[in-house]
Amino acid sequence: MPSPSDADLILFAKAQSGDERSQLYFMNADGTRIEKLTGPDTANFAYGAWSRDGKLLAYRANTRNPAAFDVYVLDVASRASRLVMQKDAYLEPVAFSPGGDYLVVSEVESSYNNNLYLVDLTAPAKPPALLTKHPGWATYDEVRWPFSARQKEGFYLVTNLGRDFTKLAFFNVPQAKIEYLDDGPWDAEALAFSRNGVTMAYVLNVNGYSKIAMSDQLQRKPLPPVKMPEGVLLGAALSPNGDRIALTFANAAQPADIYVADTATGDARRLTFSSTGGVPVAGFVQPRPVVYESFDRLRIPALLYLPPNLPADKKAPCLIAMHGGPEGQARPDFSSVVQYFLNRGYAVFAPNVRGSTGYGKTFSHLDDVGKRLDAVRDMAEAVTFLKKNVPQVDPARLALFGGSYGGYMVLAGLTEYPDLFAAGVCVVGIANFETFLEQTAPYRRAQREAEYGSLAHDRELLRRLSPIHRVDRIRAPLMVIHGANDPRVPVTEARQIVDALRARRQPVEFLLYDDEGHGLTKLKNKLDAYPKMAAFLDRYLQAR
């Protein structure tokens, strides 16, 4: 994250071998000098916000209490930090006021509920002011407090207070009032301003695809749409005077690249051309968005990928790919794993079962706590859809694949519907909700309990939902992949399911990586795991 005022100063965070205990560092632009800012290494530090003049840097740290994050402000000139907000909660600094006198802090209770506080940095003895007292659940994200004509009134954000979808809004601080600036059936998910406050850009998630909208805030008029292919926007930044916007963009057939667009015309040009390691881009496959009905007639969006050059008289084995989260979404962005298996002759079906984000607050809460298995049933109903509507897929050769919460869905699918699937691949997945909640990083526990149920009140439910207690129902061969340093889903989850299956002489393969955390990030480990995963699936699916 570059300084807003010093072109030779860059902030970055680094952790060791996936343990997520990130430390903050300054580096000069040519990379010749690196300065560590934080410690001890046993704590977790994370960037929050730069002040407009680059003199202040806000960050969070759990040095006082491993289960909570407090907020600090660092004076860049002296490198001195001071505590500005302390609470036994998950706090995140999100935005300075333009003059640097105030700091907006988010208190995150769960992935679907948070509050915003205003910290007066000129009055250290003054308690932070709660801005967003509200009934029920609501999120307040993408806080932007630009230099503009309205800066004394407040800031911009996206929120779903009183709405099913997150929408662009303005928060009037003196009045503690939200003014919605957009409405419609899709989530606003990103927001950016030019340094002069004139140009605003925000992004809508339209059935997984990104749609960019821009406006001139002085003239209060929309700007021409950016002329880009369909896909997913991964990042956006406006030039200081707002005449250009840089976009990091990807779609299923194109790895992430950077584009720059003229905001006055919408014309865009591509600046980078990502390496695909010699693999022809022309061979990559775009998905077809589909919708199917589940057991209760709920409509489930999904992405269907069919392998290229599939003979008309052949049926393909199929991976049913489950996203993580559970507050996640299968989107048409680039996945080397998906394209790898498509190239090997597999179809891929990625459903957004109930509980997924991108389709409104109501949809995202349909799998909470005791409704967990309804989402698992949505996954089973995908098989019915494939049998009836996708003749290119062989329903006898279906495998479940997923990571993190998607890994739980793999295990849940194999235990709840053992006759539907021929194999499963579980990456950093949850096998036992009790032990997962007991051993996950302390600062994550309360947020995860809001989704899954609490150790204090819901142990019977957690046991009922945990695949480890129904492992005798698993009939399909399983591959388990995990990182030894995973702080989110501890490796004990993998060991439990592997040991239980081995004790029953059920086919199971276990890949453990000592230098990884929550997923595979290192190239050498991907080059080891992916061929083994392919060989495993070929053995049980291609040979049929």
The predicted pLDDT at position 218 comes to 86
Q: What is the pLDDT of residues 443-484, one digit of tens each?
A: 888 888 888 888 989 999 999 999 999 999 999 999 999 999
Tokens of 414: 């194999």
For residue 192, CA distances in Å to 157, 203, 391 come to: 10, 9, 44
Q: What is the pLDDT of residues 47-61, one digit of tens each?
A: 999 999 999 999 999
Pair type for strands 316-322 and 508-513: unpaired
154/4: higher pLDDT: 154
φ, ψ of residue 274 in degrees (nearest 5): -60, 140
Q: Are 93 and 107 in contact (CB under 8 A)?
A: no
d(CA 139, CA 447): 13
Q: What is the pLDDT of residues 24-36, one digit of tens each?
A: 999 999 989 999 9
Query: Which helix (H) or strand (E) is 451 found in, with range?
Result: helix 442-452
527 in any annotated domain = yes
Query: Which helix (H) or strand (E) is 35 found in, with range?
Result: strand 34-36
370 in any annotated domain = yes
Q: What is the pLDDT of residues 273-297, one digit of tens each?
A: 887 767 777 789 999 999 999 999 9
d(CA 491, CA 489): 7
**Percent share of the chain, pLDDT over 90:** 84
For residue 170, CA distances in Å to 140, 203, 267, 318 come to: 11, 16, 29, 46
Both 119 and 261 in a single domain?
no
The predicted pLDDT at position 309 comes to 85
Both 406 and 366 in a single domain?
yes
Both 301 and 156 in a single domain?
no
Q: Domain end: 276, 304, 330, which one?
A: 276
Q: Are 325 and 354 in contact (CB under 8 A)?
A: no
Both 294 and 257 in a single domain?
no
CATH of the domain at 271: 2.120.10.30
Query: Which helix (H) or strand (E) is 446 found in, with range?
Result: helix 442-452
Both 103 and 6 in a single domain?
yes
Q: Are 513 and 484 in contact (CB under 8 A)?
A: yes
Query: Which helix (H) or strand (E) is 80 found in, with range?
Result: strand 80-85
Give the confidence band of 213 by pLDDT, cuts at 50, 70, 90: very high
Give the confidence band of 69 by pLDDT, cuts at 50, 70, 90: very high
Query: 3-state DSSP call for residue 538?
Result: helix
Q: What is the pLDDT of residues 296-309, one digit of tens each?
A: 999 999 999 999 98
Specify the residue for token string 């008309």: 312
Q: Are 138 and 158 in contact (CB under 8 A)?
A: no
* 118-132, 186-200, 273-287, 306-320: least confidently modelled range: 273-287
Range(s) of the domain holding residue 384? 289-542
CB crowding 188-209: b at 16 or more within 10 Å, else e: bbbbbbbebbbbbbbbbbebbb
326/419: higher pLDDT: 419
Q: Domain end: 276, 310, 325, which one?
A: 276
Q: What is the pLDDT of residues 215-227, one digit of tens each?
A: 998 888 999 999 9
Total structural domains in the chain?
3
Q: Domain end: 223, 243, 276, which one?
A: 276
CATH of the domain at 518: 3.40.50.1820
User: Is the confidence at residue 182, as pLDDT, over 90?
Assistant: no
**Percent share of the chain, pLDDT over 70:** 99
Both 240 and 325 in a single domain?
no
The predicted pLDDT at position 244 comes to 96
For 271, other C-beta atoms within 10 Å of its C-beta total: 11
Both 460 and 358 in a single domain?
yes
Residues 6+ apart with CB under 8 A from 219: none
φ, ψ of residue 501 in degrees (nearest 5): -70, -40
Both 207 and 308 in a single domain?
no
Both 269 and 293 in a single domain?
no
Q: What is the pLDDT of residues 357-376, one digit of tens each?
A: 999 999 999 988 889 899 99
- Computed on alpha carbons and rounded to an integer, the radius of gyration of the chain in Å comes to 24
Tokens of 25: 């560092």
d(CA 528, CA 287): 27
136 in any annotated domain = no
Q: What is the pLDDT of residues 326-346, one digit of tens each?
A: 889 999 999 999 999 999 999
d(CA 451, CA 466): 14
The predicted pLDDT at position 543 comes to 58
205 in any annotated domain = yes
d(CA 307, CA 230): 20
Listed in sequence order, the DSSP H helices in 54-185 are none
Residues 6+ apart with CB under 8 A from 155: 95, 97, 104, 143, 144, 145, 146, 170, 171, 173
Both 294 and 203 in a single domain?
no
The predicted pLDDT at position 442 comes to 87
Instruction: Tell me the sheet residues that pair with 304.
Output: 288, 349
137 in any annotated domain = no
282 in any annotated domain = no
Q: What is the pLDDT of residues 226-241, one digit of tens each?
A: 999 999 999 999 999 9
User: CA 152, 157, 159 angle in degrees (round to 5)?
Assistant: 135
The predicted pLDDT at position 544 comes to 53
Instruction: Tell me the sheet residues that pair with 300.
Output: 292
Both 93 and 241 in a single domain?
no
Give the confidence band of 248 by pLDDT, cuts at 50, 70, 90: very high
Question: Could you please report the per-residue DSSP string of 314-355?
Answer: --EEEEEEEPSSSS----SS--HHHHHHHHTT-EEEEE--TT
446 in any annotated domain = yes
145 in any annotated domain = no
d(CA 76, CA 53): 11
Both 198 and 78 in a single domain?
no
| Mean pLDDT of all residues belonging to the chain | 93
